[in-house]
Amino acid sequence: MNAIVCVDKNWGIGKNGELLFNIPEDMQNFVLNTINKPVIMGLNTLHSLPGGKSLKNRLNIVIAPKEEKLPDDVIHVTNIKELSDYLAENNLTDKAMVIGGGMVYNALLPFCDYVFVTKVDADGYADTFIQDLDDPNEGFELLYKTPLKNADITISAEKKCPISMQYIIYKNMRY
């Protein structure tokens, strides 16, 4: 299992249930890295998707309490053990991508082989964070990173503004 996430310079990932940044280039990167793969998310992440609907061309797996009513095309698991069993039984463990939110990332990052990070060189004033993968105590090693590059953040249909970002890949060194 792997994870993909966009973070600000403080390892923030969201605010008020929304992404911190709308970067079209990063969205394209997300699609390329998740298309035709199982994606694992929490209930809030599912609800934050356009129309609260599952992502197309992906097997959507949602970790949520039993009483939750989810769309028919979503695989519903209630805990990490059920998730692990489902992935193993269906030979999906190596293909699965964790896509959020904060509680799901923090619970599953220790089980991810690789974490694909888009790091934005800005403070998004987040209220939701993941662990700092640059901290040696977290058990991850930086494998690859691109130089900082400029990208556009979409603010509205007619307004964009530049921001610096880079792509980073971390390997879990616990295994």
pLDDT digits (tens, 9 = 90+) for 13-56: 999 999 999 999 999 999 999 999 999 999 999 999 988 899 99
Domain ranges of the chain: 2-172
pTM as predicted: 0.94
The pLDDT of 118-140, averaged and rounded, is 96
Tell me yes or no: is domain 2-172 CATH 3.40.430.10: yes
DSSP 34-66: HTTSEEEEEHHHHHHSGGGPPPTTSEEEEE--T
CA atoms within 13 A of residue 45's CA, in its CB half-sphere: 23
Give 60's strand partners.
39, 74
Residue 155: band (very low, low, confident or very high) from pLDDT cuts 50, 70, 90: low
Q: Which of 70-74, 80-84, 95-99 has the lowest mean pLDDT?
A: 70-74
Closest CA to 1 of 107, 72, 76, 78: 107
The pLDDT of 142-149, averaged and rounded, is 95
